[in-house]
Amino acid sequence: MKNPSPARCRILSTAFTLVELLVVVAVIAVLASLLLPALARGREKATVAAVKVELLQVGLALEMYASEHEGRVPPVRENCNSDLVLHWCQLPVELADLGYLPRGPQGGLAARYEDKFHRGHTYKYAAPGPVILNNTPGGQHRMWVPSDFPANASTNGAWHLTNSTAPVKWAVWSLGPKPDSEKSQSARAPLPQSTWYRRTGDSGVIARWATRDGTQFSTP
């Protein structure tokens, strides 16, 4: 039998075996498993940064509205209707009607400024004072304010019903990366630090608020 030609030997010596291919695939899988969490964390950080920029824009819109309405801010909206009950504390329709924010096409998104972590819903808005309940005046909206506001680190505090006596003028917030979490859905959110988003992988709200004189603050 003839010996293989030199060219044939070179082809055989450079070919991958099945074991070598499996090793390469395994190495790629390990590298991917290490990189994907880092990519996810980077994506979350970028979204958080974008949310803070948009909340700043909403805050500026609210202050412009207040400056043109004798210091008053828009009422809070609540709904008990089955199709809108999930759109509690949506961004004020007034900001869209007057051109401060883009106008949306449907109920719950009348002001089309979606929470980047809760698509299909606007960022949340609240202020002590009047409530529009199912499109009619419905009493007063209450907000829980820590006793050391605006630092908001205290676990002590009180509920406030009227804008004229509450230390907070308004608050806007995102429900954060885990919108259904206990922290994000807390009835006391968004002012207490115990409800805030802190780091990647965490739950909690990303918020911005103003004192009665219009000075604005943000979660870290």
| pLDDT value, residue 89 | 95
| pLDDT value, residue 3 | 57
- Note the pLDDT tens digit of each residue in 156-170: 999 999 988 999 999
| pLDDT value, residue 15 | 62
Q: Which of 68, 212, 185 is nearest to 118 (CA)?
A: 185
Residue 197 — very low, low, confident or very high, per pLDDT cuts 50/70/90? very high
| pLDDT value, residue 82 | 72
Q: Where are the domains of the chain?
A: 32-218
Residue 18 has pLDDT above 80, yes or no: no
Contact 219, 184 (CB under 8 A): no
> What distance in Å separates the CA atoms of residue 211 and residue 107, rounded to the nearest whole number?
30
Average pLDDT rounded to a whole number, residues 49-76: 97
Q: Which of 169, 175, 179, 174 is nearest to 209 (CA)?
A: 169
> What distance in Å separates the CA atoms of residue 93 and residue 101, rounded to the nearest whole number?
9
Q: What is the pTM of this model?
A: 0.83
Residue 25 has pLDDT above 90, yes or no: no
- When mean pLDDT is compared across 18-27, 72-81, 121-130, 136-145, the lowest value belongs to 18-27
Q: Which residues of 114-143 are buried (b: 16+ CB within 10 A; e: fewer)?
A: bbbbbeebbbbbbbbbbbbbeeeebeebbb
* CA 183 from centre of chain: 13
- Note the pLDDT tens digit of each residue in 172-195: 999 999 999 999 999 999 999 999
Average pLDDT rounded to a whole number, residues 60-64: 97
Mean pLDDT of the chain: 88
Bridge partners, residue 174, by sequence: 206
| pLDDT value, residue 27 | 65
- Note the pLDDT tens digit of each residue in 74-130: 999 998 877 788 899 999 999 999 999 999 888 889 898 999 999 999 999 999 999
Share of the chain above pLDDT 70, in %: 83
Residue 204 has pLDDT above 80, yes or no: yes
- Which three-class secondary structure state does DSSP give residue 157? strand
> What distance in Å separates the CA atoms of residue 90 and residue 172, rounded to the nearest whole number?
10
